[in-house]
Every structure is written in structure tokens, then in C-alpha cells.
Structure 1
Amino acid sequence: MKDIGYVCSGDGGQVTTFDDYRAYIDDMIYVMELDRVDLQQYRAIVIPDFSNQEVLARHAGKFDDYLAKGGFLIAFEPSRLDQWLTIVDVPWFERGTKDWKWWMKPGGRLEVYQPEPKHPMAEAIPVADMSWHFFGAYRFFPGAQPILNLDNDEGCLMFDYRLPEGGGRLICSTIDPVVHSGRRFMPATTRFLNGFFPWLKAEVAREHA
């Protein structure tokens, strides 16, 4: 069995990011060929930000089945899987970044923090490396562990949810590191991925030890 599959829609930033972190990723899965791929051969599947929504929606049942059988799915926004994944009711809501140019201002900060106790991913990636902007947010819901929250706990930008009764695991994010890093825009996104892919590889090994 392989560790990590990476679903690519063909965007140049997605391809470059795959090349950057291919030491941690087993295969690139072209989204247009999903019907030919058995996702169950991967312990984890990563869906990058700015993926082809129409094609993902066409294969929603495939991802539902993957999670139902114990798979580990990580989706970055804007992938809007709340519109096509049915096995989990993803509670997305409209919420924009208050100040997209916060990083250009002395003492500026994005309106986010990592809640305590910190999720293991947050232990591997500091909040500064999770901060650039975001697309929407999630409501808190039972059984999900927040990873990155909005100030005043208005909602979260990333959560980790384990499905009940032997199901899989879902990490959802409204931040978009993959394409930015691949296009060499916003250094924090590259720092995020420098922590994320080693963490994911280690997490998969730990869960299947």
C-alpha cells in the first residue's frame, strides 16, 4: 500500500508543488483520470487548492467511498467540498479575510490563532506559517478538532474530523498554500508546506505502525 496520493488538476502551481515535495508524495493523480484510479491503494489523499470543482463533484461518490472505508482525505480550499462530499456535512459559511494587506502593515496580523490543546499539525507548523488569507470558514461541529480558529472563535479555518464506526479521517482547510507556493507567491505558504508534508508523511506512518 502507498502512503500519499496527490490529486492534480493540471494547474502549474499544483504541478510545481508536487515536484517540490515529491520526496513525500507517492503519486500524482491527474483529476481527469480519477475514474481509472483505485484510491484505496493510498493511506492519504491530498486535494490541492484551486482544483477542478466540476470533475471533483463528478467523482464525489469515489471520495465518499474512500472515507467510508477508512481513507484519510486532506482538502485545501477553495475546493468547496461542502458542495460535493456527502459522507460528511461540511459546515462551510461565507467569511472573507478582513484585511488582505495586513502583512504590509507594521504589527499587522491575520485574525487567526491556534487553539489549545494544539493539534499535532499545529505543533509542526506555527501560526505565522498558517497566516496569509482564507476563503470562507467552518462552523464548529461535534467530533471535529479545530486546528486554526478565527479570533473570538467565530469559526475555524481548518479542522480534523474522524468519521465514526470505522470510517476514515478528513482534514478540511479554507487556506490555500499549494498554488501560491507553486507560483512562488507568499513565502508563508511554502513554509506551511515545508511543515505539512513531513508531518503528513510521519502521521500516516504513525497511524499505520
Structure 2
Amino acid sequence: MPTLGLLHGGAFHQLATLADPAVRVWRPREIYLPEAGPEDFDDLDTLIVSDRLHPGLLARTAPLLLRVAERGGTVVVLGENDVAGWLPGLRALRPAETNFWWWRTDGDNGVRRAADGHEAWDHLTERAVRWHYHGLLEPPAGATVLACTDLERDGDPATRQVLLYEDRVSTPGRLIVTTMDPVYHHGSRFMPGATQLLYGLLRWTCTGRRDTTL
């Protein structure tokens, strides 16, 4: 039985991502959001919530998908998904300007990795978290910030402009939350770093579960 699920809405970028052999090797269960039911989530160890899902349908389905974390599993929530309305622990989601093209001019978008000794960096490159983002997160106290902007003040985590964190305090499992949208950009085949983030998240959350029989 599969232990990985990928929740999608049938958009072209989501279907292209699901068809990628480098994604297929993890044997994801394809969960179509408009038709999702409890049985789709009951036996999952890891769930990837694709970016850019229908906000109304996602909010309605949130209690079902969060059961994965309530049972001790991992839920990875990708942006943009209006997470402030349904994600436990999140204290705020603030708007931020999105610069789509900074990487074309070799600029610095101000994103910095954090928690250097964290296991995530065994699987994620620095480039994987430095491209662009859609909003700034205020994670719960006790969560681990993994990527933020350089607007942090005086080393106070409460002032960090966060775009990726791991939360092991709000549920018995873990929530990995980002405002970056790697499925959209990987499936659309543009934006350096997006593919690295997607593949890295799969390695990090699914290592040891891969079935290489395609």
C-alpha cells in the first residue's frame, strides 16, 4: 500500500509533476481534491499538499488531510494555499511582494537558510529555498524556522520573515509549511530552485519508503 499521497486539483502543473518519473519513483497516491474522502488519507505516512489548490475545497477537506499529522505522520503544505484559515499553529500569514525575475539579473532576494544543523539540509540545497515566495509566515512557538528573509531583527525569532518551517508542536506528527510553490514552477518548467525544492522535500519526508519498481 502506498504511504505517500499528493493532493492535487487537476491543474496542468500538478498533473505534469505527477507524471515526472523522478516523482513517480516514490509511488504517490494521486488524491484529486474535489473527490477526496477519508479513505484517501487514512493510511498515509506523508502527504504533499500541492500549491495553488481551490481555497474553498481545501478548507473543507482540511480536517481529513490533517488526520495524517494527528496520527503522527507528515503533512507538507506548499504555497499559495490560504493556510491562515485552516492550518493549526500558524499565527499569521502576511502578504509580501513576489519578485519573479530577480534570478535573471543575478540579484540577491534576501532569503537565508536557518537551523544549519537540521536534518532538512541533508536533502535540500541552499538554492532550493532561494527563488521566490508568496507571503511571510509567523509559525507557532517551538517550530523550527528553516528559511527566512534577512529582515530578522536582533536575532529574535518572532521577528523573522519566515517562508519555510517545520512544526512538531501543533500535532503529534509534523507540519512542513512553505509559501514557495514548487509544484507550479516544476510543472510549468521554469524557475531555478523549484525542482530542487520539490525533489528535496520528497527525499526528506519519504527516505526509506521508495519503491524503485516502476
TM-score, length of structure 2 as denominator length? 0.84
- Matched AA of 1:143: G
Partner residue of 1:53 out of 47, 52, 55: 55
Query: Per-residue CA shift, 1:35-79, capped at 9, x if unaligned?
Result: 253412110110011112111111222134332222311000001
Q: 2:115, 2:146 within 8 Å by CA — same for their partners in 1?
A: no
2:165 corresponds to 1:163: no
**2-side partners of 1:31 and 1:98: how far apart?**
27
Q: Residue 61 of structure 1 aligns to a residue in which SS?
A: helix
Number of equivalences? 201
Structure 1's unaligned 5+ residue stretches are none
2:30 corresponds to 1:28: yes
Partner residue of 1:72 out of 71, 74, 85: 74
Matches within 5 A, 1:174-185: 174-185=179-190
Q: Percent identity?
A: 25
Q: CA RMSD in A?
A: 2.2
Runs of 4+ in 1 over 6 A off after TM superposition: none
Task: Call closer, same or farther: CA 1:182–1:201 in 2, change over 3 Å.
Answer: same
- Matched AA of 1:134: Y
**2-side partners of 1:98 and 1:62: how far apart?**
31
In the other structure, the counterpart of 2:123 is 124
Q: Residue 170 of structure 1 aligns to a residue in which SS?
A: strand
Matches within 5 A, 1:54-203: 54-85=56-87, 88-97=88-97, 99-106=99-106, 108-153=107-152, 154-163=160-169, 167-202=172-207
**1-side partners of 2:119 and 2:9: how far apart?**
29
Q: Residue 46 of structure 1 aligns to a residue in which SS?
A: strand
Q: Residue 114 of structure 2 aligns to a residue in which SS?
A: coil
TM-score, length of structure 1 as denominator length? 0.86
1:3 offset after TM fit, Å? 2.1
Bigger fraction of residues in helix: 1
Bigger fraction of residues in strand: 1
1:98 offset after TM fit, Å? 6.4
Q: 1:17, 1:178 within 8 Å by CA — same for their partners in 2?
A: yes
1:160 offset after TM fit, Å? 0.5
**2-side partners of 1:188 and 1:13: how far apart?**
16
**2-side partners of 1:26 and 1:32: how far apart?**
18
Q: 2:45, 2:68 within 8 Å by CA — same for their partners in 1?
A: no
